[in-house]
Homo-oligomer: A and B are copies of this chain.
């Protein structure tokens, strides 16, 4: 079913048929179709959905739509949703809603649940604690496989995953894990303790989500247990929630590398002042850093007045430097982010970039020399000056672009800051000094 069909069925009031159709549709697709509808139609459709599906659809709605729904829904149906919502979705909801809506939501929770909500809201943003959920299957090591399967049969529908089960002692300390695959394949009378996996890989509540994503990628797990400082199991993170994190971490790097403050807000949803605020600080900083290039040019003003044609090649030289440096820094920043390059590789990277830049620089210089010597009327010494400068600029840019991200990581700065914009600014000043020195030497001024 698509949006057109939905609208047609609503218009023709073919509700029974619509209900049947909706029951067969994925919650993500229903949520998307609801998005543009007005709140009354939304409620109408919600009331057609089986309870479980309604909860799933609610969890997939946009923040704005959730807000509308919570404001307009009657208490009974709100309670049904709140009761059934997975805990991580509940936390997300509470974090995004304004105070009056949160109040309305909390009315439908029990005291213990509210305490737990408060505890979860205190985890640092983007930590494992802030993205985990509490709906996991908890087993005891003395259980048999039959007990365990019966337990899963009873509670399995309310758990975020049943495919990895967690074995804990009476103090909630994590003792082992066992997969549903193992349970299904094992003999009914086997005891969990004998067949569980005791070497459990886990993360801590305060670990950053980037670390969590790294563990998922490394091991290919479907879920990961989260423990507190006392090694007590406090929640789990499932792989579907991690895919968003992987995208989010890459997006943050894209933003930082383009000289912006990172933001999770979607572009089309953000207002222009927020967007401007994220962009201005770095632009101002980089603009003020241009004082150096300005100073260098002004020092050589007399010189430029004599050979004004040199000015014509400044943009090309600076762009070539900036682009060369961006290439190198991008590869290194990404390599660091994916764990393919680490701090000990600094020497290797520098040596590699040096050799690459010689190759690249010579090719560019050859093309450039050919073009300006044969096709512009600038004379041999200017063509030589520009081309020789180009080689030096490319080499400098690539070595600096390669090494600065590693250096940043070494001093605990984010390597993504050492990207194109900053490298360009640094290389601009150096390029001009090289350019004027080479010119002074070759043109005998």
Contacts and interface: CB of A to CB of B under 8 A. Distances in A.
Interface of A: 24-26, 28, 149, 152-153, 156-157, 162-163, 180-181, 184-185, 198-199, 201, 216-222, 239-244, 246-247, 250-251, 253-255, 257-260, 266-268, 272-273, 275-276, 279-280, 282-284, 286-288, 290-291, 293-294, 297-298, 301, 304-305, 308-309, 311-316, 318-320, 322-324, 326-327, 329-335, 338, 340-341, 345, 348-349, 352, 355-356, 359-360, 363-364, 367-368, 371, 376, 420-421, 424-425, 428, 432
26 contacts: A26-B219, A28-B219, A149-B184, A220-B243, A221-B240, A222-B222, A246-B246, A258-B327, A258-B330, A258-B331, A268-B335, A275-B331, A283-B327, A284-B367, A287-B320, A290-B315, A290-B319, A294-B313, A294-B315, A294-B376, A297-B315, A301-B311, A304-B308, A319-B424, A322-B421, A322-B424
| Among A162, A199, A259, A331, residue most surrounded by chain B Cβ atoms (within 10 Å) | A331
B283 A324 contact: yes
Given A297-B311, A326-B420, A240 B267 contact: no
Contacts of A335: 266-268
B28 A280 contact: no
Contacts of A304: 304, 308, 311
Contacts of A201: 26
Nearest to A258: B330
Nearest to A201: B26
A367 B287 contact: yes
A1 to B, nearest CB: 10
Given A243-B220, A316-B287, A322 B324 contact: no
Given A272-B356, A327-B279, A367 B288 contact: yes
Majority SS of interface residues in chain A? helix
Given A266-B335, A287-B368, A301-B309, A163 B184 contact: no
Contacts of A290: 315-316, 319-320
Contacts of A363: 276, 280, 284
| Among A221, A266, A280, A327, residue most surrounded by chain B Cβ atoms (within 10 Å) | A327
Contact of A314 (B180, B301, B315): B315
B297 A359 contact: no
B163 A360 contact: no
A323 B421 contact: yes
Contacts of A25: 199
A139 to B, nearest CB: 14
Contacts of A253: 254
A284 B364 CA distance: 6
Contact of A359 (B267, B276, B313, B355): B276
A323 B368 contact: no
In the complex, the 8 A-B pairs of residues with the closest C-beta atoms, listed nearest first: A220-B240, A290-B316, A258-B330, A250-B250, A293-B315, A297-B312, A276-B359, A294-B312
